[in-house]
Structure 1
């Protein structure tokens, strides 16, 4: 069984291999609060105000860039919704790969650190 700690230690890499439904279910169990919605791995992060929301977005920017795995972000006054999928899997039709969960675990770690 995969854990969030194991995912955080990994680096995103180019892949054309999608996870199976069973693998997606296993990986979702490792990342708290993330869900599969419309073919993407999604989570909403809540904040006290716009400044904290933008500080989180700026903090995740390095990780997103370093792993070359960019989510769809929806930013509002006190929320940031992150949506991951991998465009290169399934013959370029997109889907879910381990990269989505690596990034999800890293965003969670940044959020936990910011909440302290």
Structure 2
């Protein structure tokens, strides 16, 4: 892990599973609505919107970020909400990549809400 902020980093193919303390440290750099799952295997945040159009616009923007970083979340999409879950399946839990993408989404929502 480097000392630069999450938003300045990009996802890496060669990554490793984070220790619990490292994951907790990175979680503090994200919006307070992000949470680590009880089993410590993923981070999750629910985003709420005024209507379906705004929800799908968010999903499309998130898809672009996922494509650019080559790191893809699990999504649950409803009329006015989207639940985003990040986990790095190749390491069986959380990696720095999950937090990098979450930080990018935080900026997306902050700048376009």
Give the TM-score taking structure 2 as reference length: 0.90
- Report the counterpart of residue 12 of structure 2 in structure 1: 13
- Unmatched 5+ residue regions in structure 1? none
Identify the residue that residue 98 of structure 1 maps to in structure 2: 96
CA distance in 2, matches of 1:107, 1:77: 19
Deviations 1:56-114 (A, max 9, x none): 1111111100111000000101101000000111xxxx110000000000011111122
Moved over 3 A (4+): none
Q: TM-score, normalised by structure 1?
A: 0.88
Kindly report which structure 2 residues correspond to 1:13-92, keeping only aligned pairs within 5 A, or say none.
13-32=12-31, 33-37=33-37, 38=39, 39-89=41-91
Aligned length: 109
Q: Does 97-106 or 16-25 show the bigger shift?
A: 16-25
CA–CA separation in structure 1 for the residues paired with 2:112 and 2:59: 11
Work out the CA distance in 2 between the residues paired with 1:82 and 1:8.
18
- For the 8 Å contact 1:13–1:99, the answer to whether it is kept is yes
Query: Considering only aligned residues, what root-mean-square deviation do their CA atoms show, in Å?
Result: 1.6
Is there any run of 5+ residues in structure 2 with no aligned partner, and where? Answer: none
Q: Conserved in 1, the CA contact under 8 Å of 2:44 and 2:86?
A: yes
